[in-house]
Chains A and B, each alone.
Chain A
């Protein structure tokens, strides 16, 4: 795939955020976990640019390290559901029959249910923690990719070049890997790019409810939950992680929108 020039600024923006997350431990001015009660709830000044929280921890450092927590969890979860979902969907679409029916009925059950409601119940049932929150979201999230991949495979399956490959003796695995996956990758990539922002917000939402990242982990949703009772006296404890979520989600949404326009010109 040739890189479209107009994508570069969007890739740069998203790439910058990913770089911040990767190098987070070296970028923080202070240790994000060191408490200094003598400077608790200090407003933003020249020492702590974004102020401190109730334990005197530097908010800026926690926001920077939080990018790692958030992006790592969201990306890992997204990549897993994209791979698992697309494989299940393509296999179902390719083989058809009972297996396909079973897989689709299973995904029907999940699709007929509000995702966040299930995630709240499931994350609560699993007992909190960032991994469990991501798992709860993943349990419904994969169905979207299974549906999408299956639909794409069903369209491509009947195309002449697949029949030609089959006639010349390619195995099902070879057809799946060599012909189907490369051809369904585009739409799946666009869906995934547009999904990342939502996943970041949902994971942060679960942490905000106390069902995701647990203290003292620096995570944006959890930080906002800790700060919200002090919104009047120490608004920086809430507004800084909130702004970080907004900027990150906005950057990935911009990239997703642009990617859709580039890969699928029909859709605009």
Chain B
């Protein structure tokens, strides 16, 4: 078991090296670097000052050496300092991470509570009006980018109806950004849960249970939902990728002080160490979530192999 977890985490290393190398290489393709951006506001700064700053940050070194030094730092737990603020990147990230994790967890919980019942209701009432309405809603949600959903929610819920705050410091501040992510995720998810439950409902054991007079409710909750659970979790784990990307946009809209907004701000100032750290953290979170999902299947259905070895 622990060996399996270890081997999965080791597989993360080539992925991280590949992706960070690529982002690092891409950053070399542009003309202006962090130093240019840094001195943009302070007007004309002599080239000597800029060169000195570049030497200080190591930006005058050949790209492969810069990357090697960055990699060496990461291996020893040092992700460098932000070019702009001068603060330690690792600490800046740890500082902002809880906000993003909170937003993600609330969105996932809301998605499960919204999409699972909707998907089941749609499947049970296949082709009836309820099903058509739910499918239409899910289609609409699927065709809207999350920033549009977010702005619509702000416009109607916050500005027109005055129901919820757009931002703030109390617990209600998380509702709007989480709702935005929930709408986008639930739209996709409801459709998938409907398909899974429909498939399960067509299996012989359901007919068997029905013929023995087991109530529909018991069939649904005891058997169908239980056996669909693995697929439902797989789909949820797969949707984590778009959730992680989505948080960057949603955090920016709602001024949610998490790693997504930090990354977008870092990109606009070409703060390479922060961008690299963002890539590393997101990849790690993604792989860990997928690993947890795999462990969860094994726990739910011991027939799923692979974990032992």
- B234 contacts the other chain (Cβ, under 8 Å)? no
B161 at the interface (CB under 8 A from A): no
Q: Which of B14, B15, B26, B152 has the most CB of A within 10 A?
A: B26
Please, how many angstroms separate the alpha-carbon atoms of A246 and B144 in the complex?
5
Report the interface size class on chain A: 35 or more
A117-B282, A122-B22 known; A205-B146 Cβ under 8 A: yes
A114: B residues at CB distance < 8 A: 240-242, 244-245, 282-283, 286
- Contacts of A232 on B, CB cut-off 8 Å? 159
Interface of B is mostly: helix
Q: Is B75 an interface residue (CB 8 A)?
A: no
By beta carbon, the residue of chain B nearest A228 is: B151
Is B268 part of the contact surface with A, judged by Cβ < 8 Å? yes
Known contacts A117-B282, A121-B275, A205-B249, A242 near B151 by CB under 8 Å = yes
The answer to whether A125 and B30 touch (CB under 8 A), given A109-B14, A250-B139, is yes
Closest to A257 in B: B139
B111, CB-defined interface residue at 8 Å: no
Query: Count the B residues whose beta carbon is within 8 Å of the partner chain — how many?
Result: 49
Is there contact, CB below 8 Å, between B287 and A112? yes
Answer whether A120 and B267 are a contact pair too, CB < 8 Å, given A224-B148, A238-B151. Answer: yes
A209 touches B23 (CB 8 A): no
Of B27, B143, B244, the contact of A249 (CB 8 Å cutoff): B143
A110 to B159, CA, bound (A): 40
Q: Which residue of B lies closest to A235 (CB)?
A: B155
Which listed residue, B23, B140, B253, touches A121 by the CB 8 Å rule?
A: B23
Q: Which residues of A contact B (CB under 8 A)?
A: 106, 108-110, 112-127, 139, 197, 201, 204-205, 208-211, 221, 224, 228, 231-232, 235, 238-239, 242, 245-246, 249-250, 253-254
A–B complex contacts, Cβ < 8 Å, 17 sampled: A109-B19, A113-B283, A117-B248, A118-B23, A120-B263, A124-B264, A124-B266, A124-B270, A126-B26, A127-B31, A205-B146, A208-B147, A211-B267, A228-B151, A231-B151, A242-B152, A253-B139
